[in-house]
Homo-oligomer: A and B are copies of this chain.
């Protein structure tokens, strides 16, 4: 209609933006179902139906079911990494840990995050499992690193870093089992309360 506002042809950016948006919609829909019904309990027909599209269309955006799950999980992990790194500099180790934990908690109260815990890594092929374990490992390693540096700068008490990191991870994962109706209603409050628990642990 408006030949001035933009080229009559969708420019590449626009087109790929739309495509990305659709891929994101698939991720969101799939994550919701994975979290509700588990991975093997979720059919691609179900995912497609939730989006009002047909199953083969999913294959236009993703290679297969596992890729969709990996996209869900990656999206969650990336969200943690992204938010955790912003402004994480200049902070004491203790506060760095709160930053990471807070980011993790936020994600764990969303469907993509819930996939991380509710869907077992065992549902992935060895290749996919390696990929996801890599991401999970990065966060775990980051937490261990922070714990260690906190023991140096005195902001975190002495502990076995592997055990403590594992325990902290367990606490963070715990939120994902709360009913989404409750996490939706009390997100900031739960975030603070779980952070308070973490505070006692370090």
Which B residues lie within 8 Å of A173 (CB)? Answer: 170, 173-174
Query: Is there a chain B Cβ closer than 8 Å to A152's Cβ?
Result: no
Report which residue of A159, A171, A190 has the largest number of chain B beta carbons within 10 angstroms of its beta carbon: A171
Interchain CB contact under 8 A, A178 and B166: yes
Query: Is there a chain B Cβ closer than 8 Å to A1's Cβ?
Result: no
Q: How many residues of A contact B (CB 8 A)?
A: 32
Which residue in B41, B193, B201 is a CB contact (below 8 Å) of A122? B41
Interchain CB contact under 8 A, A170 and B174: yes
Shortest CB–CB separation between residue A48 and chain B, in angstroms? 16
**What is the count of identical protomers in the complex?**
4
Kindly specify which of A32-40, A55-63, A80-88 makes contact with the partner chain: A32-40
Interchain CB contact under 8 A, A38 and B171: no
Which residue in B122, B167, B169 is a CB contact (below 8 Å) of A37? B122
Which residue in B122, B178, B200 is a CB contact (below 8 Å) of A200? B200
Interchain CB contact under 8 A, A174 and B178: no
Interchain CB contact under 8 A, A175 and B166: yes
Interchain CB contact under 8 A, B197 and A163: yes
Interchain CB contact under 8 A, B163 and A194: yes
Nearest residue (CB) in B for A202 is: B200
Scan A26-50; emit 1 where CB is below 8 A from any B CB, else 0: 0000000000111111000000000
Shortest CB–CB separation between residue A92 and chain B, in angstroms? 19
Query: Is there a chain B Cβ closer than 8 Å to A118's Cβ?
Result: yes
Nearest 10 CB-CB pairings of A with B: A170-B174, A38-B122, A170-B170, A40-B40, A167-B197, A167-B171, A163-B193, A170-B171, A166-B174, A38-B120
Binding site for B on A (CB under 8 A): 36-41, 118-120, 122-123, 159-160, 163-164, 166-167, 169-175, 177-178, 190, 193-194, 197, 200-201
